[in-house]
Amino acid sequence: MGKLSHSDRQWKAKWITDGEYVFKEKKISPVPMVFRKSFEISKKVVSAELYSTALGTYVFTINDIRVGEDYFTPGFTSYKYNLQYQKYDVTHLLREDNTILGTVSGGWAVGAFVYSRRNRLFADRQALLAELIITYEDGTKELVATDESWEVSTEGPLRYGDLYDGEEYDARISDESIKYHKAILETLRIAPSISKAIGVPVREHEKFEPISVNKVGDELIYDFGQNFAGIVHFSINGKEGQQIEIKHAEILKEDGSLNTDFLRSAKARILYTARDGQQEYAPNFTYMGFRYVSVSGIDEKEISIYARALYSDVKEIGSFTCSNEMINRLQENIKWGAKSNFVEIPTDCPQRDERMGWTGDIALFAATACFNFDMKDFLKKWLRDMRSEQLSTGGIPNTIPSNGFGFPTTMPPVAVDFWGDASVLVPWAVYQATGDKSVLSENYDMMKKYVKACKNWAGLFSFGKHRYIWHTPSTLHFGDWVAPDVPKMSQWQKRSKWTATASLANTAHLVSKVAGILGNPDDEVYFRNIYEKTSDAYTSIFTDGNGKLLEEFQTAYVLPIHFNIFNEAAKEKAAENLAQLVKANDYKIGTGFPGTPYILFALADNGQKEAAFKMLMNTDCPSWLYEVKMGATTIWERWDGLDENGNCPIGDDGTDTMISYNHYASGAVGDFLYRRIAGIEPVVAGYRKFRIAPLVGGGLTFARGELNSPYGKIVSDWSISENRFIIKITVPEDTTCHLIMPDESEKFLSAGEYSFECNIYC
Ligand code: BGC
C-alpha cells in the first residue's frame, strides 16, 4: 500500500499487480489483468463481505457469478487525492470450493483518457486491493485478502478494454486455458485517501430493443430509437474464430450507413471472436454514446441484440408535461441528455474522445438537473474532487477530475468564468433543491478562494472601474461558447469580456448570500462589495447607463438582466432592448452556453413574456424545438447540428469537429419549464416555503409540473378552458405554498390538495 495513503478502514490486504506485465505503449489502454484466488470453506457461512478497490476499473466474479451490479468501480475520482472502495455482500455466492476472479482494465487511472489519450497517469499498470471477510456460524472469521498468494494473468478472454475504444473479447479463451503466475506486491505512486464510495454507482437502466434493422453494404444497421449512453448485449450462434464487429454512432449518413465522423479518436466498437455454439456477451469496461450500431461478420438470423442505458443511479424526482407535444419531447430530451452524461461524474458528452467532467456544462445545467433528479450525492462526490484539485491560486481546472488535462490550469493565477463558476453554481443549485447547508459549508472556502481569484485576475493591468472588467486574454476563456450567431470559436471567446464580468458579479453576489446563510457577516459585506463594484463597472463601461449596450448581443443583455447587475429602471429598458434584438433575429437563439439557461427568465421576468414564449416555441434553426423537429432524442452541442435535410452542415470549422448530439448544456431551459410554466420555485431553499406562480403563454392549454421535494410531492397542474384558468395543487406536509394566480390574486396554503380558478384572457 502506498506509504502515505490513509483510509477510513484498516486494510490487511496488500496492493497487488502483475509483475511480468510491462506497459509502455502510448495512447492506448493496457491489456486487462485477471487476478485469481481459490479457497475452500468447510464451515457454515453466516455472512461474507467483499471490500475492494483498484487502480483501473474492476469487476469481480465469485464462482462465475458477477459481484454486484455496479459498472466502472471504484468510480471516477481525482485519484491522486481520493480513491473509493466498494463493499458487497457476497454471502450468497460462496460454496465449498471457491474461485474469485477480479478483472481490472485500465479505466480512467491507467487507461488512455482525455482527448490527448494520455495513459498511465496514476500507475504504470493496474493494481488491485481486496478483502473478503467471511463470518462463520461458530463466530469465527476468515480473511481472504489480496497478497502474493494470488495469481494473475494478462491472457484472459478480455483482450482489450478502453472507455473510448470499446472492448476486444476472445470467447475461445477459457479460464482453464490461461497461464497464471504469482501476483507481486505493488507500491503505489500516489497516496490517495481511500474511503467508502460516496458517489452514485453506475448501473444498467432502460432496455432498448431495436426498432429497425437494415442491411447496408456488408453491415447490419440497428436503430434503437433513442440516443443514450450505454452498451449492447448480444447473443449469437457462432463458429469458432468467427469475428463480429459492432460499431456505435449517434447518426447515420445519407446512404444509411453509420456516421462515426465525430467520434474523433474513439473507436467505440466491440470486436468479438466467437467459440462454437450459442453464446452471450455484453461489455463491462466501456460504454458508448449511440442510437445506432452496425454489426458485421454475422447473419441477421444468427444474432439477437438489445441495448441497455448505463448511468449513475440518480433517482428521478421531477416531471413536466404540457399541451405541446414538442415541448414534451424537449423535456424528454433534457432528461436523456442528463442521463447520458451522469456517468460517475457530470460529463460533457458520452460518445467522442472526451466524456470529461467539463465544469462549465454542469455549472449551467445544475439547476435543471436538480428539478429532474436527486443530484445531491452525485454532485457532492464530484465537488469533493473539485476541492481537492483547486489550484493554490484559487483557479479551478476546467475538467474535474482533471485527469491529466492541462489547459489552461498551468497558467497562474487562472480562473475561467462560468467554467470555474461551477464551484459556486453547483453547490448553490444543490442547496436550493435540498436546503442542505452542508453542501455550502463544505465548499465555502473553495468558493471564496475562487471568487477572489476572479477578482484579482480581473484587476490585473487596469485602473479605476476597469479593475472590475474581466478583460484578460480571451483565449483563456470560453466566452459565449457555441453562440450560434457568430460562427467561429475565437468570436465566442472574444465575448468573454462581457461573460466574465457578469460571471464575477454573479458569483460574488451568490458567495455573499452564502456567507449570510452560514453566518459570516464580514464575508457577506466583502463579497457584496465585489458584486456592487462589478455591476457598476458593467453598467458604466458596457452600456449607456440606461439599459442599452454599446455593443449588443443576446448574452450580453441576458446575464446582467438575470443577475441583477442593472438597476430596476435600466433592467426594464435592457429587457426591451433584448426583446428587440431577439425579434430582429426572428425569435431565434443567439446565446452560447452562459446565456442560454437564463434568456427566457431575462425576458419573461421583465415584461417581455411574449418574446420569451415566441423563442421557446420557435421551430426554426437555431432553437430548442428545431432540434425536436429534426427528430432529436437528446440535446445537441451545436444548435445547427443537422440541417433541414438531416445532414451535418458544420464540418471541421476549427473546433476539431466538435459536434455532439448528446450535450446537456442548452437543455438548461428545463429550469424555465418547472420554475415559470409550472411555476414551482423555492422561497426557502429545500421548499419548506415555496411559490407556485404559473406563467401562461405560448398557446399552452395545460401544464403539469411535479416534484418530489425533500418534504414530499409538490404538484402544480393547470389548465385553461373557456377563459377560465383552473389549477390543482399539492402542498406537502410541513411546508407552505404562496400561490400567485395569473390574475395576480394570492393565497397562502399549508399542506393539502387544492383547486382554484380565475378568469384568464389569452
Ligand atoms: C466540451 C464542452 C466544454 C468545452 C469547453 C468541449 O470540447 O465538449 O462541452 O465545456 O469543450 O471548451
- Please name which of 286, 2, 21, 6 lies closest in space to residue 122, comparing C-alpha atoms: 2
Residue 560: asked if its preceding bond is cis (omega within 30°), the reply is no
Q: How far is CA 256 from CA 188, 292, 562, in A?
A: 49, 10, 44
Q: Examine the residue annotation and report whether 148 is marked as an active-site residue of this protein.
A: no
Least confident window among 445-459, 642-656, 693-707, 748-762: 642-656
Per-residue confidence band for 2, with pLDDT thresholds at 50, 70 and 90: very low
Atom 4 of ligand 1, residue of closest alpha carbon: 358
Q: Which CATH architecture has domain 204-312?
A: Sandwich (2.60)
- Atom of ligand 1 minimally distant from the CA of 398: 5
pLDDT (mean) for 544-561? 97
Distance CA 209, CA 442 (A): 44
- Atom of ligand 1 minimally distant from the CA of 637: 9
Distance CA 57, CA 14 (A): 17
pLDDT (mean) for 320-341? 98
Distance CA 151, CA 127 (A): 13
C-alpha of residue 262 to centroid of ligand 1, in Å? 14
Distance CA 703, CA 678 (A): 6
Mean pLDDT of the chain: 96
C-alpha of residue 358 to centroid of ligand 1, in Å? 6
Q: What share of the chain is helix, strand, coil (3-state, %, to 5)?
A: 30, 30, 40
> In terms of DSSP bridges, do strands 752-759 and 746-749 run parallel, antiparallel, or are they unpaired?
unpaired
User: Torsions phi, psi of 371, nearest 5?
Assistant: -75, -30
Q: Count helices and strands (H / E) in the chain.
A: 15, 37
For residue range 660-680, what is the model confidence (pLDDT) as tens digits? 999 999 999 999 999 999 999
Q: Taking CA 661 as the corner, what is the angle to CA 655 and CA 665, rounded to the nearest 5 degrees?
A: 80
pLDDT (mean) for 298-322? 98
Amino acid at 117: R
- Atom of ligand 1 minimally distant from the CA of 361: 10
Look at the block and give the residue holding cell 475561467.
416
Catalytic residue (one of 250, 524, 637, 706): 637
Atom 3 of ligand 1, residue of closest alpha carbon: 358
Tell whether the model's pLDDT for residue 13 goes beyond 60.
yes
pLDDT (mean) for 34-62? 97
C-alpha of residue 270 to centroid of ligand 1, in Å? 27
Residues 6+ apart with CB under 8 A from 392: none
pLDDT, position 411: 53
Residue ranges around ligand 1 (CB below 6 Å): 348-349, 354, 358, 360-361, 478, 658, 663
Amino acid at 486: V
SS3 call for 553 = coil
Percent of the chain with pLDDT over 70: 98
Domain 204-312 in the same topology as domain 16-199: yes
Catalytic residue (one of 354, 389, 524, 706): 354
- Please name which of 665, 678, 653 lies closest in space to residue 740, comparing C-alpha atoms: 678
Tell whether the model's pLDDT for residue 402 goes beyond 50.
yes
Q: How far is CA 120 from CA 24, 127, 357, in A?
A: 9, 12, 19
The class level of CATH for 682-759 reads mainly beta
For residue range 189-205, what is the model confidence (pLDDT) as tens digits? 999 999 999 999 999 99
Phi-psi region of 490 (alpha: psi -120 to 50; beta: other; left: phi over 0): alpha
pLDDT, position 423: 98
Domains of the chain, by residue range, sit at 16-199, 204-312, 682-759
Q: How far is CA 599 from CA 57, 144, 555, 604, 622, in A?
A: 41, 58, 8, 9, 14
pLDDT (mean) for 578-588? 98
pLDDT, position 408: 55
C-alpha of residue 697 to centroid of ligand 1, in Å? 34
Residues 97 and 11: beta-carbon distance below 8 Å: no
Tell me the range of 402-416, 468-482, 745-759 where mean pLDDT is highest: 745-759
CB atoms within 10 A of CB 222: 26
Tell whether the model's pLDDT for residue 1 goes beyond 50.
no
Distance CA 355, CA 166 (A): 14
Residues 755 and 707: beta-carbon distance below 8 Å: no
- Please name which of 583, 574, 660, 588 lies closest in space to residue 618, comparing C-alpha atoms: 588
Per-residue confidence band for 693, with pLDDT thresholds at 50, 70 and 90: very high
Cell numbers at 632, concatenated:
432529436
Residues 6+ apart with CB under 8 A from 402: 78, 389, 409
Tell whether the model's pLDDT for residue 575 goes beyond 90.
yes
Atom 11 of ligand 1, residue of closest alpha carbon: 358
pLDDT (mean) for 90-119? 96
pLDDT, position 412: 46
Burial class (CB in 10 A: 0-12, 13-18, 19+), 266: buried
Atom 1 of ligand 1, residue of closest alpha carbon: 348
Three-state secondary structure readout of 366-389:
HHHHHHHECCHHHHHHHHHHHHHH
Distance CA 66, CA 100 (A): 10
For residue range 404-423, what is the model confidence (pLDDT) as tens digits? 887 654 454 467 899 999 99
Identify which of 351, 353, 361 to mutate to test ligand 1's pocket (most ligand atoms within 8 A of the CB). Answer: 361
Q: Examine the residue annotation and report whether 219 is marked as an active-site residue of this protein.
A: no
For residue range 613-638, what is the model confidence (pLDDT) as tens digits? 999 999 999 999 999 999 999 999 99
pLDDT, position 195: 97
pTM of the model: 0.97
Distance linking the first and last C-alpha atoms of the chain: 69
C-alpha of residue 705 to centroid of ligand 1, in Å? 31
Residues 378 and 429: beta-carbon distance below 8 Å: no
Amino acid at 564: N
Residues 18 and 185: beta-carbon distance below 8 Å: no
Per-residue confidence band for 393, with pLDDT thresholds at 50, 70 and 90: confident
C-alpha of residue 259 to centroid of ligand 1, in Å? 21
Atom 9 of ligand 1, residue of closest alpha carbon: 348
Distance CA 131, CA 443 (A): 33
CA 24 to chain centre: 32
pLDDT, position 390: 94
Look at the block and give the residue holding cell 458584486.
531
Q: Which CATH architecture has domain 16-199?
A: Sandwich (2.60)
